[in-house]
Structure 1
C-alpha cells in the first residue's frame, strides 16, 4: 500500500510525496514540458526550484519534449544547444536516467517517412536508486550472454590501486551492467509470458477455422518452447525471493512461492506499536521507539574489574601455525564452491552463485584483496 501526501502543481509539473507501507518515503515529479524553446528553458529552471524545495530521494518522469542526446532522434535535425542545456540541468540536479527497455523512441509524427524521438524520460537521484537495491537473480547464469556481460563489466575497471576499492568498483560496475543486460534481453518475465500466451491463443483460434501457414506453425511452436522457459524462469525468481531453499525446483507452484514471499514480508515488517495506550504507526516514529526501548533495556557497557588469565588454567596447547599461512587460490576456490549458492555474504545484492559461476573472471582480484587483508593492510576495506 502506498500513501500520497502533499500533492502540488506548477505550470508543467505535479509533485507529491510517496510513502510506501514499511519502506522509506520519496518524492515523485510528473512533467509535461512545453513546446517552445524559451518555455523549455523556463521549465528547466522550474525543475531546479522544485528540487530546492524537496529534500530526499527524487524521481522525475514524463514527457520532457527534450532530447538528452543526438541519438534520441531518428535523423540529424537536432537542436544541439538545447541538448547541451538539458544535459547541464540534469548534471546540476544530479539526475541519472533509467534504461528504457524494449524501445528506442517514444514519439513519432506518424508520417510515411516518420521522424521519431525519445522525449519521454525517467530520471532519478542516487538516493532514490538506493531505495531499489540491486538483486542478483538465480537464473541469470543460465541465460545467454551472462558470462560475456560479467567479463566485460569486471574487466572495465583496471586492477590498479587499493585492492579493496578495486574490488568494490568492479562489483558496482558488474551490478550496473547486469541490471542493464537483464532489462534489455530478459525484461519483464510476467509481461513476456502474457504476450506469448496471447499470441498462442490467437494462433490456436485461427487453426480452428483454417490451416496455419508454415511460418505461423513454426511461430506457434517457437512460442510454446519459449513459454516453457519463461514459466521456469518465473518459478525460479519466485523461489529465490521466497527464500524457501529446501525444495527442489518444480516441487511447488509459483503461487506457493509468492504466498510465502507475502507472508515473509508481513512477518518482517512492524506496522504499528502501542506505547502508553498510544498507537504509533509512522516508520520513523516506530524506529525511534525501538531504539529508545532497547537503549534502556541493554544500558551501556562498563569497564570490567577482573579478567581471566588463560595461561594459568593449564589447558593443552596445539600447533595452529597452519591457520596463519597466506590464503591460497585452491583454498579459496574450495570455500567458494561450498557456500550456499543463493545466500548473499554482503549487502551488495550478489549471492554466492556469482562467485562460483564466474570464479575464473573474479578470482585474481579477490585474491589480491585477501592478500592485503592477510598482511594487515585494510585501508579501504570499510568503504561505503
Structure 2
C-alpha cells in the first residue's frame, strides 16, 4: 500500500494525460487499484497481466482528454489507440516490458515489428527494453538500485517520424524516481514558443561566387580606432552585421533562391503546355535544373552543419535526417524552468528577466574608486624601437633565430 501511495502522489505531481507503467506484477481485476493511484473518476485503463511475479504493463489515461481503446495485446507489449478529445490528432502508443533473457528478447522485436505493420500514423513506444544501444550506456552491471553503483539505460520513449512531424516542439526529460529502480520519463508535445536563433555562419556561403572578395571589400572599408584587440572585435561585429544583412538577400538565402528558381521553372512549364519550347528555352530550363541541384546540395550542407552530425557523409538521401536532427537540437535549446533563491520559476518572461538581471549584476562594477592613470613620468621606448617592434620579420632575422636554436640544442646533446 505504501508503494501505491507513492505512485499516486507521483502521478498527481506529473499531471500527465497518459501514464504507462511497467513491471506492475498485477493480475485479475485491477479497477480498484487504478482508481486509487489515479486519484479521480475519469480514468480508463488497459492492462497486460503479469506472468506470476514477473512483468505486467498498465496504461491509464484521462478520458476527458483522450478516447482510448485496446489495439493489440501481445506477450510482451500492450498497444492502445488514442483519439484526442481536444484537437484533431490520433496516435498509437505501445508499452513494452522485455525479458532479461536474450533468446526471449528476440521475440519482443518480432512482436513490435508486427504491431507496427498493423497501424499507420503517429506511434510512440515506451518501456523497459532491457537492452542498451552502446556499451557506454551501462556500467558493467546486472543489477540496479540505490545501493548499487552500477546502472544502465534500458528505459526509453521512441517516436515515429509521423509523430515528430505532428508537433513543432517535442521534449523528453527524466523525472525523480521514488519507489522503483527505474527512472520515470516524460514526453511533452505541443506548440510552445521557441527561442530566437542566434547568428550562424553557413559553410555553403563559401561556395557562392564572389563571396571571399565581398568579405575582403567589407573588411577594408571598416575604420575603427583604438587598441588592436578592440579594432578586431569591432570589425568582427560589423562584419557579422553585413553578413546578417546579406544572408537575407537572394544570394545569401537558400529559401529565396529556391523560390526564385521554382517560379522560373513554373513559367517555362506553363509555356510548354501551350507550345513546344524553343532551343533557347530548353537550354534555359536545363540550366535552371542544374542550378536547382546545386541549391539542394547547399541546402544539405546547411542542414548538416546545423545538425552537427559530422559522422555521416553528405549525400542526396541525408537532408531529411539532418533536418530532423537539427530540429531535435533546437528543441533542447531552451530553459523551461529555473531555480532562483529556492523558488522554481516556469514563466518564460520571468526566466528571461532573471537571466538578464544576473548577467547585468555579474558584469557591473561595484567599485567607485580607480587608481589614476597618470604615467607621464614612466620610461618609454624610442620611436625607432617602436617601429622596429612593429616591423615585419626579415629572412636574415628568422634564419639567425633558427641557427641559435639549433646551436643551443646541439650544445646540450
Taking structure 1 as the reference length, what is the TM-score of the superposition? Answer: 0.37
Q: Considering only CA atoms, is the larger Rg found in Structure 1 or Structure 2?
A: 2
Bigger share in strand = 2
